[in-house]
Chains A and B, each alone.
Chain A
Amino acid sequence: DTGVSQDPRHKITKRGQNVTFRCDPISEHNRLYWYRQTLGQGPEFLTYFQNEAQLEKSRLLSDRFSAERPKGSFSTLEIQRTEQGDSAMYLCASSLVGGHGYTFGSGTRLTVV
């Protein structure tokens, strides 16, 4: 088990472009979470899945953001029409229902120029 993998590690994109990030959770974990972290702040919740079902979405997740977990395994987070304010570290985590503590990936750092 290699932990939670996120791809890419870094992404630089021009404003207005679409970007997609991928997260591969720990294989036996049924919950998968997306968080966003900006400099000097703690991670902010975006959304989470239990298996394929998206159980909760933050109001931070505007219409330009969409997340999927089609087969209850990996997940993708897409940002359409990126804005400079989207520049942040996007963190994925996974857990077992009833488990103690998430396992986070190393994150994808997005820079919108």
Chain B
Amino acid sequence: DQQVKQNSPSLSVQEGRISILNCDYTNSMFDYFLWYKKYPAEGPTFLISISSIKDKNEDGRFTVFLNKSAKHLSLHIVPSQPGDSAVYFCAASAEGGTSYGKLTFGQGTILTVHP
């Protein structure tokens, strides 16, 4: 039972353009969502998060949008840079607020940003 799904295994974008990574979830109990970035041979690195009481959170070039009715979130990277090339994981928690325990991850999307 895949409760968090990233349906695009890969995405290719030109440098300077917008990258949009998508994530869908099925569990209505999820109330906190996170994005992680992973380079080869390293562990995932926390990127940005959003609580279910918000519909948008922005941090520099990264913005996460949450559509609760559609059970959908997206990560926008503007402008995209070659150093953004990595695997991006969406994750969700049902524990409440920021005191999350278990995270449920999507399968990941490989982002490639071409110079």
Q: Which residues of A contact B (CB under 8 A)?
A: 4, 31, 33, 40-45, 48, 55-56, 58, 91, 93, 97-107
Interface residues of B: mostly helix, strand, loop or mixed? Answer: loop
Look across to chain A and name the residue whose beta carbon is closest to the beta carbon of B38. A104
Q: Which residues of B contact A (CB under 8 A)?
A: 4, 6, 9, 34, 36, 41-46, 49, 89, 91, 97-99, 101-108
Evaluate whether A48 and B102 lie within 8 angstroms (CB atoms) in the complex, with A42-B108, A43-B89 already known. yes
Q: Please, which residues of chain A bring their CB within 8 A of the CB of B36?
A: 101, 104
Question: Do residues A103 and B46 form an inter-chain contact, with CB atoms below 8 A?
Answer: yes
> How many Cβ-Cβ contacts under 8 Å join chain A to chain B?
59
Question: Do residues A101 and B102 form an inter-chain contact, with CB atoms below 8 A?
Answer: no
Question: Do residues A98 and B98 form an inter-chain contact, with CB atoms below 8 A?
Answer: yes
Q: Please, which residues of chain B bring their CB within 8 A of the CB of A99?
A: 98
Question: Do residues A101 and B43 form an inter-chain contact, with CB atoms below 8 A?
Answer: no
Q: How far is the CB of B1 from chain A (nearest CB, A)?
A: 12
